[in-house]
Amino acid sequence: MAADKQRKHPLASSFKFGFEGIVEAAAKERNVRIHLAISVFVIVSGFIFSINKYEWIAIILSIGGMISMEMMNTAIERTVDMYTKEYHPLAKQAKDIAAGAVLVFAMSSVLIGLIIFLPRIFAWFN
């Protein structure tokens, strides 16, 4: 019965909602804007250093994953804040764990970037 009452949206609406979420995150979330700026720098660097298609795949997955993780972290924080403004240890854990997931992905992305770009940077200066 509950499933019958769920509202169904056309596929186009799902894409519209998704793009609205991306725009909202980019407009209001400092960390998303920072990741987008770094992404532009990394993409430009990829062209400058002529990285290969497998390195592009790693870069694209890193960028997409990082921005997605940041947006999920924001969604979790907003959901927790919607339910409680008071300190609660479980609310803190939820927010901290989500932030930790972002940090893990960020560190992995930095390592991928270093593996791809450091040899090229060293070769450029030698």
The CATH fold of domain 15-125: Helix Hairpins (1.10.287)
- Does 4 carry a binding-site annotation? no
- Does 20 carry a binding-site annotation? no
Structural domain spans, the chain: 15-125
Check: CB of residue 96 under 8 Å from CB of residue 77: no
Look up the pTM and report it. 0.86
Question: Cα dihedral angle (25, 31, 33, 39), rounded to 10 degrees?
Answer: -120
Q: How far apart are CA 9 and CA 34, in angstroms?
A: 32
Q: How far apart are CA 20 and CA 9, in angstroms?
A: 15
Active site residues: 70
Res. 3 pLDDT band, cuts 50 70 90: low
pLDDT tens-digit map of 24-80: 999 999 999 999 999 999 999 999 999 999 999 999 999 999 999 999 999 999 999
- Does 87 carry a binding-site annotation? yes
